[in-house]
Structure 1
Amino acid sequence: MDEEGAARREPVTVAARTGRPVLTPSFGEYPVYTTGSYSVLSSDTLRVAVFEDALRSLAPGAAVLDLGAGGELLWARRAAELGAARSVAVEVMPEAVRQGRATLDALARRAPDVARRVRLVSALSTRVTLPEPADVCVAEVVGSFAGAEGIAAVIADARTRLLKPGAVIVPDRVCSRLAAVETRTVLGGVDAHFDEAARENVHRIFAAVGHPFDVRLRVQSPVAELATTSGVVEVYDLNRDTPDRLVADQDRAVRLLVRREGVIDALMGWLVLRALRGGPELDVLRDPTSWGAVLFPFPSGPVRVKAGDILSVRARTRISDNGVHPDYRFDIALESDSRLTGLGTIRAEHHGKHIGGSPLHQALLA
């Protein structure tokens, strides 16, 4: 168990349920967002409050850059309302851009002074240019597994080209925690399945990538008892790490202590986010937000464990060949009664061709 995990007071059960557990593909990493997807994020009161509290102290008089603004231009607009001298909203999804233009038109009628300080740019953030660098950058390109949406590469590029030296990034720090679980328990005692909406998103991801593969599995509102302690396996200190460190590969080893006898068949990862240095942390397993948890099923299927066993996990993060989104790999082994048994390697690639790597994926993608 890592030092942070040992010192941390961990929940035995997940308390932050906002509804029944729902299994879906993790789609924030892919260009399949709809305006409905963005509205779910903007209606997440806790998520909005965390970012808005940070902006309230940073926006007045500043030049603000909002990366991945969505159709509501939420943070570019809110920054201007909070007194930003100017704000630039960057968005690449065509549907969101169309909605963003309508949002600006409506804002111009309602608050022309605010609208004059907001500019919408239709482009990838890594290809946009600004007339002058920004003081503050809001980057809500944070996945349910922290780095999955490419925030490291996005911020490294912004630091190099789009921001002033010493510019402040919101969020300040994101990390991913990992524990072992039983999938059926995570899903509230029902068998894993995709509903019609989830199946549609799977096909949209396959169409965007160009081929089927083992999609990452996301659980909204998990009702899980963590079978083990947890450990940190991915960290991005966005205001401290230099651009070269942000895109660097990460290797972390954690030892997870089994709490009680039972069955485990997956690792579950979740986001812990701090919007502003010195501020409170948002923990997805404690705080009810639109972020979910991510399941990484064991390649060998269920494993019986007892209290005191140790699950050893070597977690490796590598930037994929698109230069933005990471691939993840977890080598897992069980230490029980002084014997070490390898349980295989979990591969969670952004757009790899690996398919059927676990019994759960075989069943879901049949």
Structure 2
Amino acid sequence: MPQPSHLVLSASRGAVFQLDEDGHFIALPTPTGQPIFGVTSHHITVFAAFSQPSTISGARARLAAEPTAAPVDPLIDDLLNWGLLTVEGTARGHQGGFGHIEAHLPMLADTRRVHAYADAIRAHAPGRTVAELGCGTGILSLLAAEAGAEWVWAVEESDIANVADEVLHAHRRRGTVRVERANSFDVAPSGPVDLLIHELFGVDPLEENILRIIEDARERWLKPGGRLLPMGFAIRACAVGGPRWRHGSESRQRVRRLADELKIDLDPVLRASEKTPIRRIDPPTIQPTNEECLSEPITLLEVDFRSAAMAPGRADHTAVIRHEGDVGAILVWFEIQLDETRSLAASPFSEPTHWQWQVWDLPETISVAPTRPVTVRVELRTTEGCPQIEVVDVRAG
């Protein structure tokens, strides 16, 4: 039976695909898991379509252009049954695993993040009415109350709202802060507020459907001239090179050698890998050195939450090369603009945060030099009203 079109699925990050001695695909949900047989190249193509969380309808639209004769829905059912796809939530702003305290501990342990928000809240909350969108454990609402907010309305859809209520009770702030367990689209404060606080950023700051959620809250919750905190963000990137950053090209070379050894055609796998070359790494697991950062940072996208309207399209961004080398990947991060003077960057050039970096592995390395800059082409797509940015081409100038 087809799954609901609005369901958001994501590919299992630990999944491994291999070829057995007879040249048949097998899959491992985790590197040490039990093998799954009956996997086809069509399954791998569909799996790759969910390398970033996506609605089923959005994946169907992307897969419609693929040269596959196999129906998509049965393949999705197989991947779900095998544990190779997992359910994230719905397009309304999924809560995923954020109802569990384990998801919030890394955020609280990220002292750079908490202190940056605390400084901005202390500057803007005193004497004002405040709403927090997706309050989690309630710490930002608590900080607003402690800073002297007139009252705070905190909205949280998941079970973690119970923890937020306990945190506020422990600080005797239940009279100032009210936690409402609800989806933000379904509720509104008793009156428009002066300050709207939010922290809905995932590794990809667009993946939590953040623009749609904040736009709705801004239009219905915030007073004219009220303040959004943060007020926007930027997605930035740099070209990196060196042996540690050749994951894409070296993996493809090994697959080609395997195809030659077994005398089989693995071009469908290689084509699928070109369409979804992204992976995620934990800072500072692979902290790039100065020598590995071959380019100066470039800005791929800027978003102002006060008027976040973005048209789909492509754009080219030229990176200034610091020194010559072979580019193996594009390292992507984001920077939050808390207010006019305060920002928080999840950057390889600053102290690590809990946010992972995105790495766009290139299928082949590219030689660059200060006289030969690199151009990164990105495409902004919209699927069911949710924008997604993708690196679609990288080439030397």
CA distance in 1, matches of 2:242, 2:204: 17
How far does residue 232 in structure 1 lie from its aligned partner after superposition? 0.6
> Secondary structure of the equivalent of 2:186?
coil
> 1:236 Cα shift?
1.2
Indicate conservation of the 8 Å contact 2:239/2:294, yes or no: yes
Matching residue of 1:335: 396
- Cα deviation for residue 45 of structure 1 reads 1.2
Q: Which amino acid aligns with 1:157?
A: D
Residue 143 of structure 1 deviates from its aligned partner by: 3.1
Give the letter for the 1:77 counterpart: L
Relative to structure 1, is the Cα distance of residues 128 and 317 closer, same or farther in structure 2, using a 3 angstrom cutoff?
A: farther
The match for 1:149 is: 208
CA contact (8 A) 1:179 1:267 kept: yes
Which residue of structure 1 aligns with residue 239 of structure 2?
A: 180
Count of residue pairs brought into register by the alignment = 276
**Shift of the alpha carbon at 1:334?**
1.9
Aligned counterpart in structure 2 of residue 103 of structure 1, from 158, 163, 167: 167
Per-residue CA distance 1:275-315 (angstroms, 9 max, x = gap) = 121235535221332223211222x3434445532322222
Cα distance between partner residues in 2 of 1:292 and 1:184:
20
8 Å CA contact 2:245, 2:329 repeated in 1 = no
- Is residue 228 of structure 2 the alignment partner of residue 169 of structure 1? yes
| Alpha-carbon distance in structure 1 between the residues aligned to 2:126 and 2:319 | 45
> Which position in structure 2 is the counterpart of 1:265?
328
The alignment's TM-score, normalised by the length of structure 1, stands at: 0.66
Is the 1:143–1:271 Cα contact (8 Å) retained in structure 2? no
Alpha-carbon distance change, 230 to 282 in structure 1, aligned in 2, over 3 angstroms: closer
Task: Check the 8 A contact 1:183/1:266 in 2, yes or no.
Answer: no
State, as a whole percentage, how many aligned pairs show the same letter: 24
Distance verdict in 2 for CA 1:251–1:66, change over 3 Å: farther
2:120 counterpart of 1:54: yes
Which gives a bigger RCO, structure 1 or 2 (Cα 8 Å, sep 6+)?
1
Alignment counterpart, residue 64 of structure 1, candidates 130, 144, 149: 130
Other structure's SS at 1:126 match: helix
Deviations 1:141-170 (A, max 9, x none): 123343333332222111211111111111
**Residue 157 of structure 2 is aligned to residue 92 of structure 1:** yes
CA contact (8 A) 2:335 2:343 kept: no
Q: Match for residue 32 of structure 1?
A: 97
Q: CA RMSD in A?
A: 3.0
Q: 1:156 and 1:184, CA in 2 relative to 1: closer, same or farther beyond 3 A?
A: farther
C-alpha contact 2:132 2:153 (8 A) present in aligned 1: yes
Equivalence map 1:1-366=2 (5 Å): 31-33=96-98, 34-70=100-136, 72-94=137-159, 96-104=160-168, 107=169, 110-112=170-172, 114-182=173-241, 185=244, 216-221=278-283, 222-224=286-288, 225-238=292-305, 241-242=306-307, 245-246=308-309, 248-249=311-312, 251-280=314-343, 282=345, 284-285=347-348, 286-298=350-362, 300-321=363-384, 323-324=385-386, 326-335=387-396
Letter of the 1:161 counterpart = R
Q: CA deviation at 1:38?
A: 1.1
1:292-344 deviation line (CA, Å, top 9, x unaligned): 3211222x3434445532322222223322x34x32232324235xxxxxxxx
Q: CA deviation at 1:230?
A: 2.4
Name which one, 1 or 2, has greater alpha-carbon Rg: 2
Q: TM-score, normalised by structure 2?
A: 0.62
SS state at 1:265 partner: strand
- Distance (Å, rounded) in 1 between the aligned partners of 2:246 and 2:338: 29
Counterparts in 2 of 1:120 and 1:270: CA distance versus 1, 3 Å: same
Distance in 2 (CA, whole Å) between partners of 1:295 and 1:159 is 32
Q: In structure 2, how many angstroms separate the alpha carbons of the residues matched to 1:127 and 1:99?
A: 21
Secondary structure (helix, strand or coil) at the match of 1:77 reads helix
Q: In structure 2, do the counterparts of structure 1 residues 58 and 307 end up closer, same or farther at CA, with 3 Å as the change threshold?
A: closer
Question: Which blocks of at least 5 consecutive residues in structure 1 are unaligned?
Answer: 1-24, 193-212, 337-366
Residue 269 of structure 1, CA deviation: 0.8
**Residues 261, 279 of structure 1: alpha-carbon distance in 2 compared, 3 angstrom cutoff:** closer
How big is each residue's C-alpha offset from its partner over 1:185-242, in whole Å with a ceiling of 9 and x where there is no partner?
3699xx99xxxxxxxxxxxxxxxxxxxx95952222141122222211111122xx42
Q: For 2:186 and 2:351, locate their aligned partners in 1 and report how far apart those are by CA, in whole Å.
A: 35
Asked if 2 retains the 8 angstrom alpha-carbon contact of 1:228 and 1:256, the reply is yes
For residue 302 of structure 1, give the secondary structure of its aligned residue in structure 2. strand
